[in-house]
Amino acid sequence: MLNEGINQKKSANVPENVFSLPTKHTDQSSFEDCTRSETSYHTMTTNCIFKLLQDAGIKTSVVTSSQECEIIPIEWACWRIATDMYLRRNPHAVEENRLSPPKVEMFWKNGDNNQLVISVERLVAAGISCAGLVLGQMEVDIMNRSIVAMLEILERTCLANGIVIVNLKVKFGVEANKKEIVLADVVGYESRSQIYTDILGQQNVECPLSPENQCKVVLLTESLLHLGYCEKIKGACAVYNIPCELRVISAYTGPAEILDLKSQYEGDVIPMVFITVAGKSNSLASVMSANITYPVINCPLVTAEWTAQDLCSAVRMAEGIGFSTVLSPEAAAQFAAHILGLSNPLLWSKLRTCTLNKWIAMKQADVKLRECSI
């Protein structure tokens, strides 16, 4: 179980009258009426969701036992499809409408065990403190943006497994030492799938949300003299856990071998991207693009005195030839990841998390700068 190894978690104290203004009540979760087999399935898949988000790079409360995580006593819900519970609170919404962007709601459970819908403004005004971190506008924005990313990550994997995700409900926490917001718990979700109906009552069923990670980057260079540059590209691919094979081949001295190599890799029948590294000429990328159906990325070794000429030969191509050109190893690996991520949910999820983390870093830097300017 994923709960094993999760650090000591406690919930922050919130006075009863913090959210005492009139609010709308929500219905109890539909999972309360589940049968025992349904509950078992729900527990299994909830744990799978937690692990899926963790593998995608979402920061979670699964940390070392020496650290503590204080749970924020607010439940976040993110809706992709407008269904009964959402429609009761939003009567003007269209039933079964796909919500783009997804809609985020926040709930607080009062002393009567009723869930109260709260707004961003009221949550910020409440000034809740968790593990020494006061929840302000930035922190609420981070959690709102994070749950949307989580839903999109889950949705991408679900669609690959024949599952339609309706909503996701989570709780966040604050890691005590770093004062960092993390995913503390997956409260629930709603989905639609034939898989759900078929496996009820079965024992030892594997998680249906296990994404496959079959893809590859083939890195082609004309000389071992370029090995150091190629290793940078391979290292950048490793950041996304993309397998990378290095081959030495030349468009001039080994054209027949290029066709043989084409036959070898086309037989693998998995998503693949070729990255070519050559100096003085882009012929290797041109020959590969003309003879293979996989995407080709040209990452040439350019020199200061010949950069303009090298780029000219990369952007003027003959009819029937098409490849992209980038000038840094990191950019080549990232572009390959974007291409492969279109058919690989796990890789797409990692890219989505990278985008989220960059946005969070930007918000935090902006707040620090404004605080220093005041």
When the pLDDT of each residue in the chain is averaged and rounded to a whole number, the result is 82
Q: pLDDT at position 152, please?
A: 96
Mark whether 119 and 138 lie in a shared domain: yes
Residue 1 inside a domain? The answer is: no
pLDDT tens digit sequence for 138-159 = 999 999 999 999 999 999 988 8
Mark whether 274 and 299 lie in a shared domain: yes
Residue 245 inside a domain? The answer is: yes
177 has pLDDT over 80:
yes
Reported confidence tier of residue 30, pLDDT bands at 50, 70, 90: very low
Q: pLDDT at position 28, please?
A: 43
373 has pLDDT over 80:
no
Label the pairing between strands 296-298 and 272-277: parallel
Mark whether 30 and 168 lie in a shared domain: yes
Mark whether 232 and 327 lie in a shared domain: yes
pLDDT tens digit sequence for 89-133 = 898 999 889 999 999 999 998 766 678 889 999 999 999 999 999
Mean pLDDT in residue range 36-50: 66
Q: pLDDT at position 319, please?
A: 82
pLDDT tens digit sequence for 206-264 = 555 555 568 999 999 988 989 999 999 999 999 999 999 999 998 888 788 888 888 88
Mark whether 193 and 267 lie in a shared domain: no
63 has pLDDT over 60:
no
Mark whether 137 and 122 lie in a shared domain: yes
Mark whether 106 and 125 lie in a shared domain: yes
Q: Using CB atoms within 10 A of its CB, is residue 308 exposed (0-12), middle (13-18) or buried (19+)?
A: exposed
CA–CA separation, 338 and 240 (whole Å):
10
The alpha carbon of 327 is separated from its chain's Cα centroid by a whole number of angstroms, namely: 26
Reported confidence tier of residue 22, pLDDT bands at 50, 70, 90: very low
Mark whether 336 and 228 lie in a shared domain: yes
Q: pLDDT at position 279, please?
A: 76
Q: pLDDT at position 104, please?
A: 96
Of 124, 111, 120, 88, the C-alpha closest to 20 is 111
Mark whether 227 and 181 lie in a shared domain: no
Mark whether 151 and 267 lie in a shared domain: no
Residue 2 inside a domain? The answer is: no
Mark whether 88 and 117 lie in a shared domain: yes
> What range does the domain containing 180 cover?
8-209+347-373
CATH number at residue 68: 3.30.470.20
Of 71, 81, 136, the C-alpha closest to 103 is 81
Tell me the three state secondary structure of residue 85: helix
Lowest-confidence region among 6-10, 99-103, 201-205, 271-275? 201-205
Tell me the three state secondary structure of residue 123: helix
CA–CA separation, 180 and 177 (whole Å):
8
Predicted structure pTM score: 0.80
CATH number at residue 275: 3.40.50.1970
Angstrom CA distances, 119 to 31, 186, 231, stand at 25, 21, 50
Quote the number of domains for the chain: 2
Is 58 in contact with 349 (CB distance < 8 Å)? no
User: Which of left, alpha, beta for 132 (phi over 0: left; psi -120 to 50: alpha)?
Assistant: left
Mark whether 73 and 180 lie in a shared domain: yes
Tell me the three state secondary structure of residue 344: coil
Residue 325 inside a domain? The answer is: yes
170 has pLDDT over 90:
yes
More confident call, 283 vs 236: 236
